């Protein structure tokens, strides 16, 4: 019977470019897999949040968080492995396309996790999709890597053009400095050295009056 809505349990046509095997082996692995690839996650989504959502479809064997290859921090994807294939298919039906941390997540059948696949493959260490992203996405680290690098270069050029330190002293600066009068502590110290000022200071300060006799004996 024809339906108006396509089934969410159908895996996408995407194939991992680093998959080691033939096309027939890939199809066979997908037909028996219990593992899901989960994409479009926020960098701030925790493993506990993923477990709470995906465990509604069945018992989870393990969750492998995707990590930035360089910084070893979450970079927006994970693998969820169930004990039973029926649970993985149910997850494709009921969780794929739902929201987690205000983001529409994508679930896809995966031929099976292998060590090393938990790291991003982009040049910056994260996912490739974040290399070319031009829009600002606060849930995925802000600007894309290339856009962020371009903004940083423009900022450095702006600083170099407008805020370059002065290499030559402007003409007349030395003459102006010599005309600046002494102020602050220097001026007070200079005034105190005058004899009449020292005498007045002693008369106003009781401590100096107590020792006045000792000064006379010297």
Residue pLDDT, tens place only, 180-204: 555 555 555 555 556 666 666 666 6
Taking 70 as the threshold, does the pLDDT of residue 212 lie above it? Answer: no
Q: Provide the pLDDT for residue 200.
A: 66
Label residue 144 left, alpha or beta by phi (over 0 means left) and psi (-120 to 50 means alpha).
beta
Angle at alpha carbon of residue 21, lines to 16 and 24, rounded to 5°: 95
pTM across the whole model? 0.62
Taking 70 as the threshold, does the pLDDT of residue 120 lie above it? Answer: yes
Q: For 131-163, write each residue's pLDDT tens digit.
A: 877 888 888 877 766 665 665 666 677 666 777
Q: Provide the pLDDT for residue 202.
A: 60
How many residues does this entry show for the chain?
218
Mean pLDDT value across residues 91-118: 93
Where does 8-161 show beta strands of DSSP type E? 35-39, 60-67, 74-82, 99-100, 103-104, 106-110
> Which domains, ranges and CATH numbers included, belong to the chain?
23-119 (3.30.70.330)
Mean pLDDT score of the chain, rounded to an integer? 79
């Amino acid at each position: 019977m024809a339906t108006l809505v396509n089934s969410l349990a159908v895996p996408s046509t995407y194939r991992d470019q680093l998959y080691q095997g033939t096309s027939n082996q890939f199809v066979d692995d997908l037909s028996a897999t219990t593992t899901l690839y989960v994409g479009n996650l926020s960098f701030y989504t925790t493993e506990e949040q993923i477990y709470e959502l995906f465990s509604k479809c069945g018992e989870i064997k393990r969750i492998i968080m995707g990590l930035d290859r360089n910084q070893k921090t979450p970079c927006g994807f994970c693998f969820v492995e169930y004990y039973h294939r029926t649970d993985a298919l149910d997850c494709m039906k009921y969780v794929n396309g739902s929201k987690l941390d205000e983001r529409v997540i994508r679930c896809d059948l995966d031929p099976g996790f292998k060590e090393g696949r938990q790291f991003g493959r982009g040049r910056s260490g994260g996912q490739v999709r974040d290399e070319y992203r031009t829009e600002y996405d606060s849930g995925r680290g802000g600007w894309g890597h290339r856009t962020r690098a371009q903004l940083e270069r423009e900022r450095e050029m702006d600083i170099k053009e407008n805020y370059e330190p002065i290499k030559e002293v402007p003409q007349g600066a030395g003459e102006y400095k010599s005309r600046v009068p002494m102020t602050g502590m220097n001026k007070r110290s200079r005034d105190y050295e005058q004899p009449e000022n020292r005498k007045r200071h002693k008369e106003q300060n009781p401590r100096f009056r107590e020792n006045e006799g000792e000064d006379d004996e010297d």
